[in-house]
Amino acid sequence: MKRLLICLAAGFTSICAKAQTPKRHIIYGMYLQWGYNAETYTRSNIHFKMSNGDNFVLHHVRAHDKGDYDDIYKKPGEISIPQYNYRIGFYLNHSLTKGIELNFDHAKYVVTDGQKVHVTGTIAGQHVDGDSILNPETFLHFEHTDGANWLHINYFEQKPLIENRAKTRDLLTLIYKAGAGINIPRTDFTYHGDKLNNDFHIAGYNISVEGGLRFYMFRNFFLEATGKTGYVRYIDALANTTTAKGNRATHGIGYLEGIATLGYQFRF
């Protein structure tokens, strides 16, 4: 998964670097960001179609994130365990106020165990239409925690709000973004006590908008705090299960996300 993302970023950088002419730059600079996130999710209807013939829907399911922020100081060598974000951006104008970015959110989505949900469909050859308690031993557990993994391309702009006293650089800017892309999850799924974890694969699409503030501590170093909202659709979250082929999970979620990142920029 990490190798794939590095290759995508390297290829994207190479394309942008080549997209220059001797007379006029198309790319005027770039930036790199790293940080962490927290999410809240809307309820979701999750449709399971299993290889054993079970075909059912869980209605209005609650889910939560899984920050794991204590691992930042407990395991500093493994900074990618918590919910993290990175961005690779390319400025499209001389004033560095417009651009495009490769945007990756390693968010986590965990269906809350112990909740009562309405279930409709067919299980073990029997028609079902009633309430059930979600439990991994007696029924199921479902989560995207080795990443809900939203990879997309954003268009962004930033508007200067405050300059330094000498009027030579920005101190605070308003930044806003919009984009779309793909989901690359690895979903953990337990069904009647059996774990059916899948491999990383492209499993759907996402769209989002984001806005917030960017504070330039120095000319090129900055701290960015943003809020983000969007829609994520998983079309085949279990299509690549290594322990049981032919399973399928489909659902869509809306979300609100808080993001804090540290970044560095430079001009070409």
Question: Confidence class of residue 21 from pLDDT cuts 50, 70 and 90?
Answer: very low
CA neighbor of 260 nearest in space, from 85, 80, 30: 85
170 pLDDT higher than 60: yes
Answer for the pair 5, 13: CB distance below 8 angstroms, yes or no: no
Confidence of residue 167 (pLDDT cuts 50, 70, 90): confident
Sorting pLDDT into bands at 50, 70 and 90, what band is 75?
confident
| H/E segment holding residue 209 | strand 204-216
Structure tokens at 156: 């962004």
The pLDDT of residue 83: 94
Looking at this protein, which amino acid is placed at residue 219? R
**All residues at 6 or more sequence positions from 37 whose CB lies less than 8 Å from its CB, including other chains:** 83, 84, 85, 105, 107, 257, 258, 259, 260
Placement of tokens 């968010």 in the chain: 107
| Percentage of the chain lying above the pLDDT 70 cut | 88
pLDDT for position 17: 52
pLDDT of residue 201 exceeding 80: yes
Contact yes or no for 185/147 (Cβ under 8 A): yes
Residue 74: what pLDDT?
Answer: 82
Q: Which of 13-27, 124-138, 143-157 has the least mean pLDDT?
A: 13-27
The radius of gyration computed from the CA coordinates of the chain, to the nearest angstrom, equals 21
Higher pLDDT, 19 or 267: 267
Taking only the tens place, the pLDDT of each residue in 79-92 is 888 999 999 999 99
d(CA 206, CA 199): 19
Of the candidates 155, 248, 167, 160, the one whose C-alpha atom is nearest the C-alpha of residue 201 is 248
The tokens describing 93, both together, are 């104008």
How sure is the predictor about 166, in pLDDT bands with cuts at 50, 70 and 90?
confident
Confidence check: pLDDT of 241 > 70: no
Tokens of 168: 């030579």
Between residues 239 and 113, the one the model is more confident about: 113
Cβ proximity of 159 and 148 under 8 Å: no
Q: Residue 213: what pLDDT? A: 98
Binning pLDDT at 50, 70 and 90, where does residue 24 land?
low
Question: Given this model, what pLDDT does residue 28 score?
Answer: 95
Angle at 10 between CA 8 and CA 16, to 5 degrees: 100
Percentage of the chain modeled with pLDDT above 90: 71
- The whole-number average pLDDT for the span 126-148 is 95
Start-to-end C-alpha separation, the chain? 30
43-69: average pLDDT: 95
Q: What is the set of domains in the chain, with CATH numbers?
A: 2-267 (2.40.160.20)
Q: Is the pLDDT score of 261 beyond 70?
A: yes
> CA-to-CA distance for 114 and 107, rounded, in angstroms?
22
- Name the residue with higher pLDDT: 10 or 231: 231
pLDDT of residue 11: 56
Q: Give dist(CA 141, CA 163) in Å, integer.
A: 51
Handedness of CA 27, 30, 36, 38 (dihedral sign): negative
